[in-house]
Amino acid sequence: MKELVILSGKGGTGKTSLTAAFAGLAPALVLCDADVDAADLHLIMAPDIQQTHDFVGGHEAVINQEICTACGTCFDLCRFNAVQAVDNTFRVDTLDCEGCGVCVDLCPEKAIDFPQKTCGQWFVSNTRFCPMVHARLGIAEENSGRLVALVREQARKQAREKHIDLILTDGPPGIGCPVIASMGQAGAVLIVAEPSVSGIHDMKRVADLAAHFKVPAMVCINKFDLNPGQTREIEAIARDRHLEMAGKIPFDPAFTRAMIQIKTLVEYDEHCPAARATKDIWHAVMAHPAMAVDRLM
Residue 167 in contact with residue 193, Cβ under 8 Å? no
User: Which top CATH class is 61-114?
Assistant: alpha beta
Beta strands in the chain (DSSP E): 2-7, 30-33, 48-59, 62-63, 83-86, 89-92, 112-113, 116-126, 131-137, 166-170, 188-193, 217-222, 244-249
Give the CATH H-level superfamily of domain 2-56+119-296: P-loop containing nucleotide triphosphate hydrolases (3.40.50.300)
Q: Identity (one letter) of the amino acid at 166?
A: L
Q: How many helices (H) and strands (E) does the chain have?
A: 11, 13
Give the model's pLDDT for residue 294: 46
Domain boundaries, the chain: 2-56+119-296, 61-114
Nearest to 90 by CA among 66, 74, 109, 78: 74
Q: What is the pLDDT of residue 16?
A: 94
pLDDT at residue 223, as a whole number = 96
Inter-residue contact 234 to 221 (CB < 8 Å): yes
Integer Cα distance of 195 and 204 in angstroms:
13
For residues 123 and 133, the answer to whether their CB atoms sit within 8 Å is yes
Say what the pTM is.
0.87
Predicted pLDDT of residue 217: 96
Q: pLDDT per residue over 132-180, tens digit each?
A: 999 999 887 777 889 999 999 999 999 999 999 999 999 999 999 999 9
- Phi/psi zone of residue 47: left (φ > 0), alpha (ψ -120 to 50 degrees), beta? beta
Sites in the chain below the pLDDT cut of 50: 294-297
Cβ contacts of residue 203 below 8 Å, gap of 6+? 8, 9, 191, 193, 219, 234, 237
Supply the pLDDT for residue 297: 35
Q: What is the pLDDT of residue 295?
A: 41
The Cβ of residue 141 has, within 10 Å, a number of other Cβ atoms equal to: 20
